[in-house]
Structure 1
Amino acid sequence: MSGYVGAQHEFHDANFVRGWANRFVPTRDRLKLFDMISEQISQPSLPNAHVVELGIGPGYMARHLLERNPVISYEGLDFSEVFFEIAKETIGDLMHRVTLTKADLMNQAWPKKLSKTPGAIISTWALHDLGSQQAVADVYVRCYETLPKGGVLANGDFIKPEGTTWQYEPGRFEIGLHFELLRNAGFSHPISLAHLEPNIEDPKASENYACIFAVR
């Protein structure tokens, strides 16, 4: 069996964003991804406790990490004002620890908008929406340039699984290619902590995502 895996989004449309956020309420597998990232940003070896999320979306991961990591400060980047409104609702009483920064990751100057240097840059289900391998590669380069020595990058994003006969949208590609792009950016030993909700034979757009991790 073969077909096409991809999705189209209208992240500036309030009705679309509300519906998307409702569909992405964290499941058990998605919470596993959040916990993997939480473990990485709680390591004492991090150069500082400021965490930047690329594409904060509805704020589900932000809330999860803030509840479990009381010492971190948090900065959520997004290009959608609608997502900022939903994120504020989700994060609620923890918003005093959060900075919301409007930025477009396609603009290579986005790191200049950060409030301070992060010890960790994280993202989930966002970078594939940039639409190409080159766009993801550019983000990886900017992350390497932005992080201090010992800083970490954790990207939980949709991938194209090995062995599939399905065609995938350009932003979804193999883990091995992510590793290559990370090494080209300067990261020396990128790894994948997990491949979650794997489905090779009959994949859905919400399946097949990995937790890709690298240290500066």
Structure 2
Amino acid sequence: MAFVGAQHEFHNTRFVRDWADRFVPSPERIQLFDTIIDSIANHAQASTHVVELGIGPAYLAERVLEKLPNVTYEGIDFSEPMLEIAAERLASYASRVTFTQADLVAEEWGAKVTHPVGAIVSTWALHDLGGEVNTTKVYRDCRNLLMPGGVLLNGDFVKPDDTSHDYEPGRFLVSRHLDMLQEVGFEDAQCLIYLEKEIDNPTAAQNYVCLQAVG
């Protein structure tokens, strides 16, 4: 049985910079970004504060800041090299951006966020938390941090239905994600889009969705 997953060294500066260069967004990934941006625009005030979990090299952040000129932005990541790359990419938006180093699992990261939060976003990050228990913890933290009516948007890798492959524990069914979101108190949890779906011969970079949940 084939195994679908990936290992990363996100505290290693050389690995991180090489990874960021290889992970330049494709047209499908830009479509994911724009799905997230449209949802923020539809659910949050124009001047809302957006928090990104796992900002990485800031490809999503750059597009959000460009398309939504009135939002402020806070990028959270446990990797100092990633935060350095993000700061470089977002230098022209410095007055609107805050960077926070935090571990989403090992600490209460929400206590470090100083603004009322209208939207929490994430792409290709939460599957690296290791499984349902840690993902549920983060979903609960998000629910507690968001203002009433705020929106969570998680663009992440999933395990497709009817697969014959073995997936790493952090990638699980869309239906399970939706159940978990409802269990921690979100309303209107739904999958907005499913991109690069491949069941027979998947790579670790395929099968990702945009999940939306309203606080």
TM-score range, shorter chain: over 0.9
1:160 is aligned with what amino acid?
K
CA distance, structure 1, for counterparts of residue 212 and residue 44 of structure 2? 15
SS for the counterpart of 1:153 is strand
Conserved? CA contact 2:47–2:72, under 8 Å = no
Percent of pairs identical after alignment? Answer: 49
Alignment of structure 1 residues 52-201 onto 2, 5 Å:
52-201=51-200
How many Å apart are 1:19 and its aligned residue? 1.1
Aligned length: 215
Conserved? CA contact 1:137–1:181, under 8 Å = yes
How much is the aligned-residue C-alpha RMSD, in angstroms?
1.2
How many Å apart are 1:192 and its aligned residue? 0.4
Counterpart residue number, 1:21: 20
Conserved? CA contact 1:150–1:215, under 8 Å = yes
Conserved? CA contact 2:44–2:119, under 8 Å = no
SS for the counterpart of 1:10 is coil
How many Å apart are 1:47 and its aligned residue? 9.0
CA distance, structure 2, for counterparts of residue 50 and residue 4 of structure 1? 38
State the TM-score, normalized to the length of structure 1.
0.96
Is 2:48 aligned against 1:49? yes
2:59 is aligned with what amino acid?
Y
Runs of 4+ in 1 over 6 A off after TM superposition: none
How many Å apart are 1:95 and its aligned residue? 2.0
| Unaligned runs of at least 5 residues, structure 2 | none
More strand as a share of residues: 2
Conserved? CA contact 1:47–1:150, under 8 Å = no
State the TM-score, normalized to the length of structure 2.
0.97
Deviates more, 1:173-182 or 1:93-102: 93-102
